[in-house]
Chains A and B, each alone.
Chain A
Amino acid sequence: MSPDPTATISQTVLLLALSPLITGVIKNWKAKLQNRRGPRAWQPYLDLWKFFRKDMVISEHASWVFSFAPYVVFITALLAGLMVPMVTVQAPLSLFGGVLALVGLLALGRFFLALGGLDPASAFGGMGSSREMTIAAIAEPALMLAVFTVAIAAGSTDLSRIVTATLGPGWSLLNPMHVLAFAALFVVLLAETGRIPVDNPATHLELTMIHEAMLLEYSGRYLALMEWGASIKQLVLMTLLVNVFFPFGLATGAPAELYLSALAYLAKLFAVAGIVVVVETTNAKLRLFRVPDLLSAAFVLAGLALLSTFLFQ
């Protein structure tokens, strides 16, 4: 049960290596679906490499909080990732915290991200921070209620145990609880990763951006850490979604299984990425004050999921 160094290190490497690819793949597919050629799927790696090699300009109004925030964002995303079972059922850090700690760590990252947005005294950053915290606040109950539903079904908040429970014999794809909770979490995923219809990752239009507005003053390696952190967070949430609701193929022990389960994991990730691409392409961005309607719909879905455990068991 105690953290296994090899597993921890390999999962860290996997998180670091895989996350830009997912971002790139989504961008690439989105372009294809819109009849554009689009950037290559590995473009984010090149971007990160470029950011790291650039000089930095830091606002003269900014304080140490501004420089501290990228590290917090990056490390909390990594730490959160170490609590999610990716390729094997056993997550490296499952002893140190389950899904509650995961949500807490992502919230810590967001807290400093928002402070980093406020620090350079720009109105854009403040606007981004304000919106980010608002959307996070209304997404949180839906996220938690959906998480509670699966946690209660598994009798644990430990993600490895939750995954084991869903792997077990009593599981069925058409269980209404699973379908509803998945739908709720998917909406939360869109909101938390700043995707259309909540936020548009491609825009730098002053009045609509949320996540990008907070990053406006970042440059050089801090920007690289921020972008990478956001990619890791996206990967973590997608992994959470696929492995909690579709845990097929997760390795339970033998090393020989690893190749197969890695393939299954990638296939599942790309499938979710595909859904995200379709949703982003077929929807328009919502007005900010319509976002609460979307997220309260997610909350209701999660509530129904909970109610269904009550009705069907």
Chain B
Amino acid sequence: MGQLPLTLLLLTLVGYVAGAVAGLLCLRAERAANICAFGLAALAALTGVVASVTGLLAGAAHAHQSIEILPALIPYVRFSIRLDPLGLFFTLIVSLVGLAISIYSLGYARGYYGRKNVGVLGAFFNAVLLAVTLVFLADNAFFFLIVWEIMALATYFLVSFEHEKEESRNAGVLYFVMSHIGTGCLILGFLLLFQTAGGYGFESFHAIGAKMAAGPRDAAFLLFLVGFGVKAGIVPLHIWLPVAHPAAPSNVSALMSGVLIKTGIYGLTRVAFDFMGPPPNWWGVTILTIGTVSAVLGVLYALMEHDLKRLLAYHSIENIGIILMGLGAALMFLHSGHPLLASLALLAGLYHTINHAVFKALLFLGAGAVVHATHTRNMEEMGGLVKRMPRTAFFFLVGAVAISALPPLNGFVSEWLTYQSLLQGFGTTSSLVRLMFPLAGAMLALTGALAAACFVKAFGITFLAQPRSDHAAQAHEAPATMLAGQVVLTVACVLLGLFPTQFLKLLDPVTVQLAGQALSSQLSMANGLVLSGAVATGGTVSTLGLSLIALCLLPVPLALWFVFSRATSVRRGPTWDCGLQGLTPRMEYTATGFSKPIRMIFKALFRPRREVQREYDFSPYFAKNLRFESTVEEVFQTRIYRPLNWLVWRVSRRMRALQAGSLQAYLIYIFVTLILLLIFAL
């Protein structure tokens, strides 16, 4: 094996750089820009997949080798990368999803020909992929922050790519501000670590928590939690996510929801497990609580959306919550000294990370194809697309089943692992804290069931029944490259669902590195056919076995059909319309109507407001015109961010007096500051 993963990874990085440069060189030739930029990105991502898989299979062989990829110019700042298992696993995620999205983009970017600059899109797309890969590999805090910022900036340009729309501009600014609040916290966090470590290399941060005093250590944890939490989109730091993700072009939305928010998960895992050493109990409790709250609130808000892409964005918050439930439980088990269970919970979280990346990217690509075909993101104007876009519909359905955690696909497997770790966690402690595990499990069940409701709505309203608008009625299937990108992810969803024991082997070095235990051999029974909880008696599941038995059972209804119904015929007829003159699309159930029961049940949270105006001649029951408006209050915006925003405005207005523009005043400020600093130094 030797240096192969490293060489391939360097090739990947070079590929992304070349893709970005090619995009910029071909600014005038959009076809060439499209093919060069996205083609190179696809090749580089493919190399990245191979590199990370071989690296993970080789185990921790290169884990301690730090490689400088650029010469160091400034003290402390070393542009070095390290191929440790955690970083490689996340590199696998970005490469796999990046590969599918790059292929898809080859077709998707054609929609921008003559309207927008495809070269710029391709260049920033490659820059994001490059920066994300480097975030996962960086071995130095400064280098990490630099690529973190490149990632944030390149994404900002992509979010506001369609800058002629006010929505995109606003979304870009909101993303920019929130992102920098996060980065500020990260810088402070790293400074706190530096105080004890005396260096910025990640090697010197390893297990540094044990050496730090309790105060700074907890402060650093909270700073990192906020810093990475903003990027991951945890509640209540999530407000930028449902605004920014839908505003970007759909291929970028897929990249953001699939991969970019995972950088927050990567950072939290790196810090909480690798850097900060044996964690106090409240860290795990905090993360588990945040995860549970994010999961439930994310899916509840998703249900209220009828903008297809915003709906998917809210689901990212939900899934980040589910991932954090695994990570939080793992931290609690590490605290109570159960490395086996900690590995199981960590595995559950990380497996859900790759699963979410795959199915969420798939769903966003499908949504992109739909938006491309119908020119709207509003589900109320879609419908009937399963007949006009059959392939996209099928891929979207696979993604919907996967994200709803239904067997036999991958979402079910990782949630099953999460349930197992939560259930077995009940025995790890005798304090009341252990009640958290089954309660979190019950909330996970609520989340799963609500997600299923949400995707019945998303798929049913978008793809089934009659088209609700002319655009939907004239929709056309997406081009071959866009479908090919979805095929990659669909296949990944199925394989990750049916063969979990094989894929979990890749995670062995990661759990060894972070929780001290390799699990895949314990989790695999009957030659990998059956997945078990860490304890063999704890429960087993086999998605592959279930699918095979389901195939064996299929002859039952077919035989019944053959025996009883051979002579029957099938006739097409109109849907029962209660004796009207045929059903029109306006009589169909709407997305808003579909989620109304949920809105009413959780009205304490949503505070729904509805306004009906009737214009009528003689009786209100025969209205000529009807205006109906229904809104849901976004509590976090109105109760937290709006007052905060208002406060910032007020303070800055006061501050304006200080900045009067007079040179003398500024000189005095400098002088006073100098004096104060001198006093402070004495």
Q: Are A121 and B564 in contact (CB under 8 A)?
A: no
Q: Are A114 and B601 in contact (CB under 8 A)?
A: no
**Interface residue? B574 (CB, 8 A):** yes
Q: Are A134 and B456 in contact (CB under 8 A)?
A: no
Contact of B435 among A53, A115, A221, A307 (CB under 8 A): A307
Q: Are A95 and B540 in contact (CB under 8 A)?
A: yes
Q: Are B438 and A125 in contact (CB under 8 A)?
A: no
Q: Are B452 and A111 in contact (CB under 8 A)?
A: yes
- A288→B446 CA distance, assembly (Å): 19
Contacts A53-B564, A118-B464 given: A156-B537 contact, CB under 8 Å? yes
Contact of A151 among B401, B423, B442 (CB under 8 A): B423
Contact of A130 among B420, B525, B571, B595 (CB under 8 A): B595
Which chain A positions have C-beta within 8 A of B383? 121
Contacts A60-B572, A107-B406 given: A306-B438 contact, CB under 8 Å? yes
**Interface residue? A161 (CB, 8 A):** yes
Contacts A104-B412, A130-B594, A141-B446 given: A122-B583 contact, CB under 8 Å? yes
In the complex, given contacts A74-B557, A98-B540, A115-B459, what are 9 additional A-B residue pairs having Cβ atoms less than 8 angstroms apart? A53-B564, A79-B546, A79-B550, A108-B407, A121-B466, A127-B593, A140-B448, A217-B575, A307-B435
Most buried by A among B434, B435, B442, B573: B442
Among B39-47, B374-382, B584-592, B670-678, the one that faces the other chain is B584-592
Q: Are A126 and B573 in contact (CB under 8 A)?
A: no
| Least CB distance, B443 to chain A, in whole angstroms | 7
**Interface residue? B449 (CB, 8 A):** yes
| Least CB distance, A89 to chain B, in whole angstroms | 15
Q: Are A56 and B460 in contact (CB under 8 A)?
A: no
- A138→B300 CA distance, assembly (Å): 12
Q: Are B571 and A55 in contact (CB under 8 A)?
A: yes
Q: Are A95 and B560 in contact (CB under 8 A)?
A: no
Q: Are B542 and A95 in contact (CB under 8 A)?
A: yes
**Interface residue? B94 (CB, 8 A):** no
- A160→B337 CA distance, assembly (Å): 30
Q: Are B530 and A95 in contact (CB under 8 A)?
A: yes
**Interface residue? B10 (CB, 8 A):** no
Q: Are B540 and A96 in contact (CB under 8 A)?
A: yes
**Interface residue? B679 (CB, 8 A):** no
Q: Are B597 and A130 in contact (CB under 8 A)?
A: yes
Contact of B565 among A76, A155, A220 (CB under 8 A): A220
Contacts A12-B553, A107-B449, A217-B576 given: A289-B456 contact, CB under 8 Å? no
- Interface residues of A, count at CB 8 A: 93
Q: Are A121 and B460 in contact (CB under 8 A)?
A: no
**Interface residue? B556 (CB, 8 A):** yes
**Interface residue? A41 (CB, 8 A):** no
Q: Are A129 and B594 in contact (CB under 8 A)?
A: yes
Which chain A positions have C-beta within 8 A of B384? 61
Q: Are A129 and B435 in contact (CB under 8 A)?
A: no
**Interface residue? A284 (CB, 8 A):** no
Q: Are A61 and B465 in contact (CB under 8 A)?
A: yes
Q: Are A221 and B561 in contact (CB under 8 A)?
A: yes
Which chain B positions have C-beta within 8 A of A18? none
**Interface residue? B538 (CB, 8 A):** yes
Q: Are B442 and A141 in contact (CB under 8 A)?
A: yes
**Interface residues on chain B, size class:** 35 or more
| Least CB distance, B472 to chain A, in whole angstroms | 13
- A122→B444 CA distance, assembly (Å): 32
| Least CB distance, B566 to chain A, in whole angstroms | 10
B-contact bits for A140-151, CB 8 A (1 contact / 0 none): 111111001101
- A307→B456 CA distance, assembly (Å): 35
Q: Are B465 and A145 in contact (CB under 8 A)?
A: no
**Interface residue? A275 (CB, 8 A):** no
Contact of A114 among B441, B460, B535 (CB under 8 A): B460
Contacts A104-B407, A156-B537, A289-B600 given: A121-B445 contact, CB under 8 Å? no
**Interface residue? B453 (CB, 8 A):** yes
**Interface residue? A65 (CB, 8 A):** yes
Closest to A220 in B: B568
* Interface CB pairs A-B, < 8 A, 6: A57-B570, A58-B570, A75-B550, A97-B545, A130-B595, A145-B445
Which chain A positions have C-beta within 8 A of B598? 134, 137
Interface residues of A in 141-173 (CB under 8 A from B): 141-145, 148-149, 151-152, 155-158, 161
| Least CB distance, A67 to chain B, in whole angstroms | 9
Which chain A positions have C-beta within 8 A of B606? none
Which chain B positions have C-beta within 8 A of A93? 545-546, 549
Most buried by B among A65, A76, A78, A217: A65
- A288→B1 CA distance, assembly (Å): 63
- A108→B550 CA distance, assembly (Å): 13
Q: Are A157 and B423 in contact (CB under 8 A)?
A: yes
Contacts A61-B465, A133-B456, A158-B540 given: A121-B583 contact, CB under 8 Å? yes
Q: Are B570 and A148 in contact (CB under 8 A)?
A: no
Contact of B546 among A96, A131, A140 (CB under 8 A): A96
Which chain B positions have C-beta within 8 A of A149? 438
B-contact bits for A48-90, CB 8 A (1 contact / 0 none): 0100111111111101110000110011101100100000000
- A78→B546 CA distance, assembly (Å): 11
Which chain A positions have C-beta within 8 A of B416? 100-101, 104
- A49→B427 CA distance, assembly (Å): 51
**Interface residue? A189 (CB, 8 A):** no
Contact of B597 among A110, A131, A142 (CB under 8 A): A131
Which chain B positions have C-beta within 8 A of A101? 407, 416, 541, 546
Contacts A125-B589, A217-B576 given: A306-B537 contact, CB under 8 Å? no
Closest to B299 in A: A137
- A64→B540 CA distance, assembly (Å): 33
- A222→B598 CA distance, assembly (Å): 30
Q: Are A121 and B537 in contact (CB under 8 A)?
A: no
Contact of A137 among B432, B453, B577 (CB under 8 A): B453
Contacts A55-B569, A220-B565 given: A134-B553 contact, CB under 8 Å? no
| Least CB distance, A261 to chain B, in whole angstroms | 24
Contacts A95-B526, A217-B575 given: A75-B386 contact, CB under 8 Å? no
- A55→B541 CA distance, assembly (Å): 40
Contact of A110 among B419, B452, B537, B573 (CB under 8 A): B452
**Interface residue? B533 (CB, 8 A):** yes
Q: Are A152 and B426 in contact (CB under 8 A)?
A: yes
Interface residues of A in 33-57 (CB under 8 A from B): 49, 52-57
| Least CB distance, A298 to chain B, in whole angstroms | 11
Q: Are B595 and A137 in contact (CB under 8 A)?
A: no
Q: Are A108 and B589 in contact (CB under 8 A)?
A: no
Q: Are A134 and B597 in contact (CB under 8 A)?
A: yes
Contact of A58 among B386, B573, B588 (CB under 8 A): B573
B-contact bits for A1-33, CB 8 A (1 contact / 0 none): 011000010001000100000000000000000
Q: Are A63 and B449 in contact (CB under 8 A)?
A: no
Q: Are A144 and B594 in contact (CB under 8 A)?
A: no
Q: Are B386 and A65 in contact (CB under 8 A)?
A: yes
**Interface residue? B539 (CB, 8 A):** yes
Contact of B549 among A59, A79, A129 (CB under 8 A): A79
Which chain B positions have C-beta within 8 A of A302? 442
| Least CB distance, B501 to chain A, in whole angstroms | 13
Q: Are A96 and B601 in contact (CB under 8 A)?
A: no
**Interface residue? A240 (CB, 8 A):** no
Q: Are B459 and A137 in contact (CB under 8 A)?
A: no
Which chain B positions have C-beta within 8 A of A125? 589
Which chain B positions have C-beta within 8 A of A310? 432, 434-435
**Interface residue? B461 (CB, 8 A):** yes
| Least CB distance, B499 to chain A, in whole angstroms | 15
**Interface residue? A299 (CB, 8 A):** yes
Which chain A positions have C-beta within 8 A of B27? none
**Interface residue? A183 (CB, 8 A):** no
Closest to B444 in A: A144
- A110→B441 CA distance, assembly (Å): 21
Q: Are A144 and B542 in contact (CB under 8 A)?
A: no
- A124→B597 CA distance, assembly (Å): 15
Interface residues of B in 407-458 (CB under 8 A from A): 407, 412, 416, 419-420, 423, 426-427, 432, 434-435, 438-439, 441-446, 448-450, 452-453, 455-457
Closest to A72 in B: B550
